[in-house]
Amino acid sequence: MDLILQFLHNTGFYLADYRNLIMIVVGSFFVYLAIHKNYEPLLLLPIGFGVILGNIPFFKGFGIGIYEANSVLHYLYFGVTSGVYPSIIFLGLGAMTDFSFLLANPKLMLLGAAAQMGIFFTYLCALGLGFTAPEASSIGIIGGADGPTSIFLTAKLAPHLIGPIAIAAYSYMALIPIIQPPIMLLLTSREERLIRMPEMREVSRKEIIIFPVVGMILCTFLAPASIPLLGPFFFGNILKESGVVDRLANTARTAIIDTATILVGLTVGASTQGDVFLNPKSVGIFLLGAVAFSIATASGILFGKFMNLFLKEKINPLLGAAGVSAVPGSAREVHMMGQREDRTNFLLMHAVACNSSGVIGSAVCAGILWSFLIG
Amino acid sequence: MFGLEAIAHNNGWTIAATGAGIVFAGLSALSFVISQLHKLVALLDRPPKTIVEVVVEETKPIWMPPDCPNDIQVAITLYHPLIEELPSEFELAELYGLAKKYHLPHPHLSIRCLRDAGKLEFLGDGLFRYVA
């Protein structure tokens, strides 16, 4: 009888805490959004399932949980805390990215820079709310709308916040179709949304091959702390563009990035154990994340309008919203918004250019913030 | 510590302004560089300057057939005495032989001109006679 009672005391039913149950509901909601609503399923499904997995109550001390040394999940989570997974994801991302649109219209890179203002604005807000400087930097980087970059910087500066920050970053990336359109509509007139972008010039193969080398040298000279992200990113890109190592490029953009995405999603999700995750700080991080993402979107759009004051050939300010590095969600959203006004206006390629610039921009921001705070 | 005080205490304004400035400057520089990239590529693609040695060949005088004597009368005057030396029916080769013998200019051409002018009538079997 004692044995049965002891067994029952070790089951999840007995050990369950209301915080675990709340998180299981949250995880289930993510899974629902991923499968039923098709909201960024590549991110939300592993994270959602990870949230459920991480909140199964267990008897502590057996080396089961993600925060317990020697547990399998702990080892898998090492890729997150050490910043290994973000680098691997950036490698795959580089092997997927086509920079020809950006090379054809380099001024769109400025929109990617402008959209990073959300990071610094949120950094100030977080400081004002009482977060420490490293925590504020990690929260601010959510405005880059780049999950791997957020995880990387948080792992370096505020590892205790990885769970809420990663969840916030990925959630907002998944919620782009809900967050961005109202901001776009609010900040642009119909005439502006109808602006057509000029035909892109043809970019030579040599330009495409030279760019990753030049881009990496310039960006990493400026912010050497961004090497772990931008190094693999541009390396992946040259694998793709060189055309001589198709096998490697193909592996980087399929098997490698997929494996890293699965592991990062699952372990980040599992890191949201109710007792660790559900606290006022997490709520603050979620609110600030929403601010960061919205400000980033708005600053990109407003800078697009500002550029139009000086440009002879006007650009569609909607493109500024794609300056956040949520690839390719924000580019798709910009394109759809443009098409809502005019079915024959194709903004996708131009928005992808801003998107790729945003990826570089947010990684540079992460490097800069890290440099400032490790000193 | 909260609010503006917390921001100032953590050097927030400086970090935010400097960070934003660096990102902007960096991406602007990258944007400028890639806007010039196609010019660099065009420069690299330009075919190398090669010194092309133009060999001026000595122009050999090209033999041009001289025009028919401008004045057929001159040809008749020159060739009539030769025809006198020949029998009334003769072969053109005989007339040519005599013209060469007396070093008359352009015998071949002159004989052709005489023929064209109807002064040498063809009789058949390779024989000609002079038409006065």
Residue B98, in any domain of the structure:
yes
Kindly state whether residues B117 and B80 are assigned to the same domain: yes
Contact A127 B12 (CB under 8 A): yes
Q: Quote the CA–CA distance of B20 and A365 in Å, as a whole number.
A: 8
pLDDT band at A74 (very low <50, low <70, confident <90, very high): very high
pLDDT of residue B51: 67
Across A140-144, A206-210, B50-54, least confident range: B50-54
Nearest to A360 among B1, B3, B27 (CB): B27
For residue B64, what pLDDT is reported? 47
Mean pLDDT, rounded, for A56-85: 88
Task: Considering only residues A211 and A145, tell me which one the structure prediction assigns the higher pLDDT.
Answer: A211
Check whether residue B78 and residue B125 sit in a common domain: yes
The count of structural domains within chain A is 1
Residue B122 lies in a domain: yes
Facing B41 at nearest CB: one of A109, A206, A219: A206
Domain assignment present for residue B77? The answer is: yes
Range of the domain at A179: 2-374
Q: How confident is the model over A16-55, as pLDDT tens digits?
A: 888 889 999 999 999 998 999 888 888 889 999 999 999 9
What's the complex ipTM? Answer: 0.85
Q: What is the pLDDT of residue B80?
A: 82
**Which CATH number covers residue B85?**
1.10.10
pLDDT higher at B54 or B103 = B103
Report the gap between the CA of B52 and the closest CA in chain A (Å): 29
Q: What is the mean pLDDT of residues B36-62?
A: 72
CB contact under 8 Å between B13 and A124, yes or no, is yes
B43 touches chain A (CB under 8 A): no
Pair B40, B84 in one domain: no
Residue B53 is assigned to a structural domain of this protein? no
* Three-state SS letters, A89-106: HHHHHHHHCCCHHHHHCH
Distance to chain B for A214, nearest Cα, Å: 8
Q: How confident is the model at residue B101 (pLDDT cuts 50, 70, 90)?
A: confident
* B78, B118: one domain: yes
Domain carrying residue B36 = 3-45
Residue B131 in contact with partner chain A when CB distance is under 8 A:
no
Q: Is the omega angle on the peptide bond into residue A86 within 30 degrees of 0, that is, cis?
A: no
Residue range A290-297: mean pLDDT, rounded: 91
Note whether B126 and B77 are same-domain residues: yes
**Total tally of structural domains belonging to chain B:** 2
Q: Which residues contact B129 (CB under 8 A, 6 or more apart)?
A: B88, B89, B90, B120, B121, B123
Residue type, A338: G
Which candidate from B10, B19, B22 shows the least CB-CB separation from A127? B10
Instruction: Provide mean pLDDT across the span B31-55.
Output: 79
Give chain B's mean pLDDT. Answer: 81
